[in-house]
Homo-oligomer: A and B are copies of this chain.
């Protein structure tokens, strides 16, 4: 249909040279067909040029929550100091050059009241320099600044929400402050308010003229699945969306996210792509609840899912081993693959699940997750043919991503043998020998 449409357009252009009835008829048909194309195009994405690969950076919520007690806990309360600290670390400790560029302030940044003009304003004690100055600081480090809002009467933590009548004003305020990304939550909202408000905010952000990526929590409040959630529409208005519960600082929580994505992959996998991503919530690597093995597993599966890599941790004190996981270049390049096609789970038994992701240039990523907890490493035996990695008959190079180690070159039926630790993962980068 799109081809017909293009042909028709060139015909009309031709007719235009002789502006006449033929041209007007032509254009009417053209516009009518345009409407049809618009209606029937299966997934047209928000075309603000943002998030062409999954965004990366840092986000305050999971690790710092609504800690506003700056008197007792000045280093860890939600304040401009905390955000500047994290911007400093991102810029200095090798994060920025790897792509971790967003510094995202979550809930609890604002004053409990809007200002005299009805505008959102930051808490004056914790953000004495104001949000614009903070965004400027972040920009001065070569980073981007994200903020949090809530389409509802209040934010989840009880701060002023963005109601339907303040959408335009709030979008304008964010743009004036130099915000680069808005996470819009939906506590104290309802289905019709969300259905009207999220598209409206998308439009309002576009109208500001400032490129502001739009991260929508809408589907998470609607169960994350059709028919209540329309992923085609979401792709048109949001650059990413949260569709499942908030992650908590535990392996159980990470696993529940992974299981939900696996179970619903037929819906979720096709929904995502360049400019519009599923967001399974933040990385908790470097926090309190995950072991080293479990941390590698989260990183691997977030890479497979083409998930936003927003860390919620303390970059000032993260230990070397956990930093290495988050800074693994090949894992990041899998996550950022320009094809933008998320992986799916292709196998599951009581000990293992296997995820497979198609990458650009004929490459693949495969993650083998150990889902049983009997304490000894278990052997896994695979071959490429089994994994339907068969396009290059000459074979593939296989890299153990998390150990940054070449495992070797494999023909399609060669046995690939390795062991996987309890709650651990083997992440493989598989690239064709064929050129």
Please state if A421 and B375 are interface contacts (CB–CB under 8 Å): no
Against B, the Cβ 8 Å flags (1 = close, 0 = not) of A368-410 are 0000011111010000000000000000000000000000000
Q: Does A67 interact with chain B (Cβ within 8 Å)? A: yes
Closest B residue by C-beta to A247: B375
- Report chain B residues within 8 Å CB of A249: 373-375, 422-423
Please state if B293 and A289 are interface contacts (CB–CB under 8 Å): yes
A423 to B248, CA, bound (A): 11
Interface of A is mostly: loop
- Report chain B residues within 8 Å CB of A293: 288-289
Within 189-238 of A, Cβ neighbours of B (below 8 Å) are at none
Selected from B65, B251, B377, the residue in CB contact (under 8 A) with A375 is B65
A172 to B163, CA, bound (A): 81
Q: Does A76 interact with chain B (Cβ within 8 Å)? A: yes
- Size range of the chain A interface in the assembly: 20 to 34
Against B, the Cβ 8 Å flags (1 = close, 0 = not) of A231-258 are 0000000000000000011111100000
Given contacts A374-B249, A376-B64, A289 and B289 within 8 Å (CB-CB): no
A250 to B252, CA, bound (A): 10
A287 to B377, CA, bound (A): 11
Q: Does A356 interact with chain B (Cβ within 8 Å)? A: no
**How far does the Cβ of A262 sit from chain B's closest Cβ, in whole Å?**
19
Closest B residue by C-beta to A248: B373
- Report chain B residues within 8 Å CB of A284: 375
**How far does the Cβ of A254 sit from chain B's closest Cβ, in whole Å?**
11
- Report chain B residues within 8 Å CB of A253: 373
Hey, which bits of chain A sit against chain B, CB under 8 A? 62-65, 67, 72, 76, 248-253, 284, 287-294, 312, 373-377, 379, 421-424
